[in-house]
Amino acid sequence: MAYDVFVIGGGPSGSTAAEDIARAGRKVALLDRDGRIKPCGGAIPPRLIADFNIPDSQIVAKITTARMISPTGRAVDIPIENGYVGMVDRDKYDEFLRNRAAEAGAERLTGTFLRIERDAEGTHVVWRDKASGEEQRSATKLVIGADGARSGVARAEVPGGDKIPYVIAYHEIIVAPEASNSYDPTRCDVIYDGRISPDFYGWVFPHGKHASIGMGTGVDGVDLKKATADLRESSGLTDCETVRREGAPIPLHPMDRWDNGRDVVLAGDAAGVVAPSSGEGIFYAMVGGRVAATACLACLASGKAADLALARKAFMKEHGTVFKVLRSMQDAYYKSDERRERFVSLCHDVDVQTLTFEAYMNKKLVSARPMAHLKIGLKNMAHLLRLVSPVWTGVKARP
């Protein structure tokens, strides 16, 4: 079977790309390993729900408050006004996206990517079929590598693909406890504490009947399971039944190049599109899948391999500035507990809260309030230069 595009990886990015290509009338294959569930907080903003037509049946919880917890256990509750953040379960959500791609006309394949071969007859993806264990060789004009942070496609095909920096994320899915002051099924807790993560953060995210509790770090030698156990203890969740445990690398910033200038383009984690500071990936993965699909369709129409570069160009045009701002914030505030304490203190500011969530919900920086931006910039500098002390008006989250 010959394809116009062969998509490797059936997560949100690959499934989105396959669906878009199939709806455009092209022959597309979607190869997924099957059975793998990526560790993920599972948060999706309203813009994702609208842009990608996600039905309410996929939303297992609706978050209306974000609680930021400092190293000393102080907390700032930030209300999400005029909306909510949706939470999804990745095992069900990813399968929904794969099925939707198949319904649009993509051919689902189950197996493991091995390599890409080229000969006089063209490009071929070699993969191992899960059911038979036999190698398969599929002819294709173009390949989309959406196979995760340690992408085999990126390592083999795209310059720099073997040098993507990442953090390791680990979480445990637990049976959710009854609602209490320490656990609210409509609140996401984000824990900035060097005892949990020396360079990132920990989290407790509700998922309806379940909850995700975990952390991420790029520091070697950190015991992720112990850190998560400590977080469970401090959050009063030690006795909750554990459903499953998962870990995976999360890339730190977009690659400088997403295509090989010939027949391959990357998408999602394989291209490094996870937001700095927050670690948010689902929205950006799906956008990455969409721009990769658009680039492939342009390449198929024009016959010009240079059109594959349109994927990164389109993504960075819309989201590059946000990524730079978030990277600067992570570099400034995640270095030490003293900095993290100041960061959570800064989150008390109403302007910070409003602009942060306007940007998160709509996925763009808000330019309509210049005075608010100026005030935030001045307060930010005052904290970084230690001209002020952290000021607390929030609640004490933990002893």
In a domain, 111, yes or no: yes
Looking at the structure, tell me whether residues 171 and 312 fall in a common domain.
no
- Among 198, 232, 248, which residue terminates a domain? 248
In a domain, 384, yes or no: no
- H helices within 269-392, ranges in order? 282-302, 310-333, 337-346, 350-362, 370-384
User: What residues make up the domain containing 112?
Assistant: 2-37+89-164+252-322
Per-residue pLDDT band for 358 (boundaries 50, 70, 90) equals low
Looking at the structure, tell me whether residues 294 and 145 fall in a common domain.
yes
- pLDDT score, position 185: 96
Q: Which of 367, 215, 278 is nearest to 44 (CA)?
A: 278
- pLDDT tens-digit series, residues 364-395: 655 544 444 344 444 444 433 454 456 554 55
Task: Among 22-31, 191-200, 337-346, 379-388, name the one with the lowest average pLDDT.
Answer: 379-388
Looking at the structure, tell me whether residues 309 and 172 fall in a common domain.
no
- pLDDT score, position 276: 79
Task: Among 63-72, 79-88, 131-140, 147-156, name the one with the lowest average pLDDT.
Answer: 79-88
In a domain, 352, yes or no: no
Per-residue pLDDT band for 64 (boundaries 50, 70, 90) equals very high
Task: State which of 74-78, 236-240, 344-348, 372-376 shows the largest mean pLDDT.
Answer: 236-240
In a domain, 338, yes or no: no
Contacts of 210 (CB under 8 A, 6+ apart): 60, 89, 173, 174, 175, 176, 243
Burial class from Cβ neighbours inside 10 Å (0-12, 13-18, 19+) for residue 158 reads buried
Task: State which of 96-110, 208-222, 348-362 shows the largest mean pLDDT.
Answer: 96-110
Per-residue pLDDT band for 363 (boundaries 50, 70, 90) equals low
What mean pLDDT comes out for the span 256-270? 96
In a domain, 75, yes or no: yes
Looking at the structure, tell me whether residues 269 and 312 fall in a common domain.
yes
Looking at the structure, tell me whether residues 178 and 223 fall in a common domain.
yes
In a domain, 195, yes or no: yes
- Among 291, 322, 353, which residue terminates a domain? 322
Give the C-alpha separation, 236 to 300, whole Å. 55
Looking at the structure, tell me whether residues 109 and 24 fall in a common domain.
yes
Task: Tokens for 146, please give them.
Answer: 């959406």
- pLDDT score, position 198: 92
Residue in the structure block whose two tokens are 């993507």? 164
The answer on pLDDT for 317 being more than 50 is yes
Looking at the structure, tell me whether residues 63 and 108 fall in a common domain.
no
Looking at the structure, tell me whether residues 84 and 98 fall in a common domain.
no
> Is the CB of residue 135 less than 8 Å from the CB of residue 126?
yes
Mean pLDDT of the chain: 87
> Is the CB of residue 306 less than 8 Å from the CB of residue 284?
no
Looking at the structure, tell me whether residues 126 and 227 fall in a common domain.
no
- pLDDT score, position 260: 96
Looking at the structure, tell me whether residues 99 and 172 fall in a common domain.
no
The answer on pLDDT for 37 being more than 80 is no
Query: Which is more confident, 275 or 135?
Result: 135
**Count of the separate structural domains present in the chain:** 2
In a domain, 118, yes or no: yes
Looking at the structure, tell me whether residues 157 and 172 fall in a common domain.
no
What mean pLDDT comes out for the span 134-151? 96
Give the amino acid at 80: I
CATH code assigned at 118 = 3.50.50.60
What is the pTM for the complete model shown?
Answer: 0.89
CATH code assigned at 220 = 3.30.9.10
- pLDDT tens-digit series, residues 186-222: 999 999 999 999 998 999 999 999 999 999 998 989 9
> Is the CB of residue 47 less than 8 Å from the CB of residue 131?
no
In a domain, 16, yes or no: yes
Looking at the structure, tell me whether residues 145 and 261 fall in a common domain.
yes
Task: Among 154-158, 277-281, 291-295, name the one with the lowest average pLDDT.
Answer: 277-281
The answer on pLDDT for 24 being more than 70 is yes
- Among 248, 275, 303, which residue terminates a domain? 248
The answer on pLDDT for 156 being more than 90 is yes
